[in-house]
Protein backbone atom coordinates (compact mmCIF):
# COMPACT_ATOMS: atom_id res chain seq x y z
CA UNK A 1 0.00 0.00 0.00
CA UNK A 2 2.74 2.43 0.91
CA UNK A 3 4.64 1.71 -2.30
CA UNK A 4 1.59 2.61 -4.39
CA UNK A 5 1.35 5.97 -2.67
CA UNK A 6 5.07 6.57 -3.20
CA UNK A 7 4.72 5.83 -6.91
CA UNK A 8 1.77 8.20 -7.27
CA UNK A 9 3.60 11.00 -5.49
CA UNK A 10 6.78 10.35 -7.50
CA UNK A 11 4.79 10.67 -10.75
CA UNK A 12 3.16 13.87 -9.51
CA UNK A 13 6.54 15.36 -8.59
CA UNK A 14 8.04 14.30 -11.93
CA UNK A 15 5.23 15.99 -13.83
CA UNK A 16 5.39 19.21 -11.86
CA UNK A 17 9.20 19.42 -11.90
CA UNK A 18 9.22 18.91 -15.66
CA UNK A 19 6.74 21.77 -16.05
CA UNK A 20 8.94 24.02 -13.87
CA UNK A 21 12.07 23.18 -15.88
CA UNK A 22 10.19 23.67 -19.13
CA UNK A 23 9.23 27.21 -18.05
CA UNK A 24 12.73 28.04 -16.85
CA UNK A 25 14.56 26.75 -19.92
CA UNK A 26 12.39 28.64 -22.39
CA UNK A 27 14.62 31.68 -21.83
CA UNK A 28 17.76 29.64 -22.51
CA UNK A 29 17.68 28.88 -26.23
CA UNK A 30 19.24 25.59 -27.28
CA UNK A 31 18.99 23.93 -23.85
CA UNK A 32 16.43 21.34 -22.80
CA UNK A 33 16.08 19.77 -19.36
CA UNK A 34 13.74 16.84 -18.82
CA UNK A 35 12.99 14.85 -15.70
CA UNK A 36 13.48 11.19 -16.60
CA UNK A 37 12.75 9.61 -13.22
CA UNK A 38 11.89 10.54 -9.66
CA UNK A 39 12.12 8.52 -6.47
CA UNK A 40 10.58 9.45 -3.15
CA UNK A 41 11.71 8.20 0.25
CA UNK A 42 9.28 6.08 2.31
CA UNK A 43 8.63 8.96 4.70
CA UNK A 44 8.00 11.32 1.73
CA UNK A 45 10.66 13.77 2.91
CA UNK A 46 13.28 13.40 0.16
CA UNK A 47 12.72 13.39 -3.58
CA UNK A 48 15.54 12.29 -5.86
CA UNK A 49 15.11 13.55 -9.42
CA UNK A 50 17.15 12.33 -12.37
CA UNK A 51 17.57 14.91 -15.11
CA UNK A 52 18.44 14.53 -18.76
CA UNK A 53 20.10 17.61 -20.27
CA UNK A 54 20.41 18.39 -23.96
CA UNK A 55 23.08 19.13 -25.09
CA UNK A 56 24.86 16.78 -22.71
CA UNK A 57 28.07 18.88 -22.76
CA UNK A 58 26.32 21.49 -20.61
CA UNK A 59 25.02 18.91 -18.14
CA UNK A 60 27.39 19.61 -15.26
CA UNK A 61 27.01 23.38 -15.61
CA UNK A 62 23.23 23.22 -15.64
CA UNK A 63 23.16 20.73 -12.74
CA UNK A 64 25.31 23.09 -10.67
CA UNK A 65 22.92 25.94 -11.52
CA UNK A 66 19.90 23.83 -10.56
CA UNK A 67 21.50 22.80 -7.26
CA UNK A 68 22.19 26.43 -6.34
CA UNK A 69 18.56 27.30 -7.11
CA UNK A 70 17.09 24.20 -5.40
CA UNK A 71 15.32 26.27 -2.72
CA UNK A 72 13.49 28.42 -5.27
CA UNK A 73 12.57 25.30 -7.28
CA UNK A 74 11.21 23.70 -4.10
CA UNK A 75 9.20 26.85 -3.35
CA UNK A 76 7.74 26.83 -6.88
CA UNK A 77 6.94 23.13 -6.50
CA UNK A 78 5.26 23.88 -3.17
CA UNK A 79 3.00 26.51 -4.71
CA UNK A 80 1.93 24.00 -7.36
CA UNK A 81 1.23 20.98 -5.15
CA UNK A 82 0.27 22.63 -1.86
CA UNK A 83 -3.20 21.06 -1.94
CA UNK A 84 -1.92 17.52 -2.56
CA UNK A 85 0.98 17.17 -0.10
CA UNK A 86 1.30 18.42 3.44
CA UNK A 87 5.11 18.54 3.45
CA UNK A 88 7.05 19.46 0.32
CA UNK A 89 10.00 17.04 0.03
CA UNK A 90 13.63 18.10 -0.05
CA UNK A 91 14.90 17.96 -3.64
CA UNK A 92 18.07 16.23 -4.80
CA UNK A 93 19.10 16.35 -8.43
CA UNK A 94 21.35 14.01 -10.41
CA UNK A 95 22.27 13.72 -14.08
CA UNK A 96 20.72 10.72 -15.84
CA UNK A 97 23.33 9.63 -18.35
CA UNK A 98 21.55 6.49 -19.55
CA UNK A 99 20.88 8.01 -22.99
CA UNK A 100 24.57 8.78 -23.46
CA UNK A 101 25.39 5.23 -22.36
CA UNK A 102 22.95 3.76 -24.91
CA UNK A 103 24.36 5.99 -27.64
CA UNK A 104 27.89 4.85 -26.80
CA UNK A 105 26.87 1.17 -26.96
CA UNK A 106 25.21 1.72 -30.36
CA UNK A 107 28.33 3.45 -31.60
CA UNK A 108 30.51 0.53 -30.48
CA UNK A 109 28.18 -2.02 -32.07
CA UNK A 110 28.31 -0.22 -35.42
CA UNK A 111 32.12 -0.57 -35.54
- pLDDT tens digits for range 20-51: 999 888 877 888 889 999 999 999 999 999 99
46 contacts 92 by C-beta, under 8 angstroms: yes
Give yes or no for a cis peptide into 2 (omega within 30° of 0): no
Among 51, 45, 77, 74, which residue's Cα sits nearest to residue 64? 51
Count CB-CB contacts under 10 A for residue 68: 9
pTM over 0.95: no
- Mapped onto helix, strand or coil, the DSSP state of residue 88 is coil
The torsion angles phi and psi of 43, rounded to 5 degrees, stand at -90, 5
Amino acid sequence: MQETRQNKIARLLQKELSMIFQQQTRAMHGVMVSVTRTKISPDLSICTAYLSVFPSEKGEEILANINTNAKSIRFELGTRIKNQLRIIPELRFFIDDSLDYIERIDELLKK
